[in-house]
Amino acid sequence: MKDRIARTIREYSEQGIHRSGTDGDLENATWLSGRIRSLGLGPELDTFPFKRVRPLECTLAIDGKTVEAIPLYDCTYTDGDGISGRLGEIGSDAEIGVVSAFPMASSPGGRLLDKARREDQHKAIVVLTHEGMPPGIAITNAEDFGSPFGPPTVQASNADARWIRSAVASGTEARVVAQCDYVDAKSINVGTTIRGKNPNLAPLVVMTPRSGWWSCASERGGGIAAWLEIMRAISRSGADRDVIFTANTGHELGHIGLDHYLESHEALIKDAHMWIHLGANFAAAVSPGVGVQSSDEQARKLMFGVLSQQGLEPDGETEPGQRPLGEARNIYDGAGRYVSVLGRNGLFHHPSDIWPDPVDLEKTTRWVAAFTEIAVQLSGP
């Protein structure tokens, strides 16, 4: 199993940028379809159109020095001339607010960013990747992709933080260009179904996101590997109930891929016996921490029973009744049942998340084995 997991994560990482609707995303759909066929199963491809953000020019210019930036994918944008004004801390009266943040909305910087955007506190905003991460741009998810809001916002590398911070302290004039347009694109949810012996039993659903901002080796690779290992195990052992597998694109764009899937499978949220959500980061080697989530005490008891047998103890838990993180939240919002694994990652949404160093292969193998066993048990009567 360990060798198969290593191969899966390595190949996934080597595909490069996995942003929805890009060449890397479409290559991944083809690759994943091939892996499904290699297990003797037929891939199910659900292609859907959407408007992809295409950055044209995204820069920050201060005192004659210009650096490349990456826009938020759910904000408003500028023309080619951009917006000029005085730099200042976010929440100040400066035209251009600057904040340092980890790429999570729940982080202190993330909360300041969200508040400033919703209150239109600035004409433009610059987000510096937090200096607690390696040099680079760790991109924030576009949770409001379908309803962009707030001022034009660009994300800049923490490698430039010192001189940008100096300019903020002195209230230097700057120019932000966040020129983007929208282009017609397509993306693909990839899946398959293993038919059970008893079609009258409620199906089990195994889901994982397959898209992300960069190569996402430790962020997404563990979920992809677990998804395929569960598929492999159940295709060999057989199942009493149907087992539906879906690997969804659009994760970084407010879960648009899962939303599209649920539009045509709305009843499945409640009708499924259980959803298994294979989330982000449980493969991480850098500042790791694995967490689990479950919808109810029965689901929790089953999950923790297997984890105990495998000698695994999570670092954190979103307990039943609390709204979970990741795609499990879509199932929670629809009153469905779920078990879920995900975690922390010091390279979350970061370009350095490239195989092999960010991946703890031994730990990943143990968690994949545990959730494979959970899936096999849930596929029974």
The predicted structure's pLDDT at residue 231: 99
Final residue belonging to a domain, choices 162, 183, 204:
183
Last residue of a domain, one of 143, 168, 183: 183
Q: 0.75 exceeded by the pTM?
A: yes
Q: Are residues 321 and 279 in the same domain?
A: yes
Q: What is the DSSP string of 86-127?
A: EEEETTSS-SEEEEEE-S-TTSHHHHHHHHHHHTT-SSEEEE
Same domain, 58 and 179: yes
Residues 230 and 362 placed together within one structural domain of the fold? yes
Amino acid residing at 314:
P
Q: Domain boundary residue among 145, 162, 183?
A: 183
Question: Which residues does residue 359 pair with via DSSP β-bridges, in sequence order?
Answer: 284
Q: Is the CB of residue 326 less than 8 Å from the CB of residue 292?
A: no
CATH number at residue 348: 3.40.630.10
**What's the confidence (pLDDT) of residue 201?**
99
Residue 213 has what pLDDT?
A: 99
Query: How many CB atoms lie under 10 A from the CB of residue 53?
Result: 22
Same domain for 252 and 237? yes
Q: pLDDT exceeding 70 applies to what percent of the chain? A: 100
Residue 147: CATH number of its domain: 3.50.30.30
Query: Are residues 239 and 344 both part of a single domain?
Result: yes
pLDDT of residue 215: 98
Residue of 375, 353, 191 whose CA lies nearest to 299: 375
> Are 89 and 206 in a shared domain?
no
> Is the preceding omega at residue 358 within 30 degrees of 0, hence cis?
no
Kindly state whether residues 271 and 146 are assigned to the same domain: no
Give the pLDDT of residue 362. Answer: 98
Domain check: are 109 and 35 in the same one?
no
Average pLDDT for 24-42? 98
Same-domain pairing of 36 and 58: no
Residues 223 and 309 grouped into a single domain: yes
Q: What is the pLDDT of residues 259-310, one digit of tens each?
A: 999 999 999 999 999 999 999 999 999 999 999 999 999 999 999 999 999 9
Provide the pLDDT confidence category of residue 216 given band limits of 50, 70 and 90.
Answer: very high
- pLDDT averaged over the chain? 98
pLDDT at 239: 98
pLDDT tens digit string along 92-133?
A: 999 999 999 999 999 999 999 999 999 999 999 999 999 999
Which residue segment(s) compose the domain that 284 sits in? 2-51+186-378
374 and 266 in one domain?
A: yes
What integer is the mean pLDDT of 197-201? 98
Average pLDDT over residues 63-84: 98
pLDDT of residue 368: 99
Structure tokens at 42: 């037929």
220 and 176 together in one domain: no
Given the structure tokens 């759909």, which residue do they identify? 29
pLDDT of residue 61: 98
The total number of structural domains that make up the chain = 2
- Mean pLDDT for 67-76 is 98
Q: Would you say how long the chain is, in residues?
A: 381
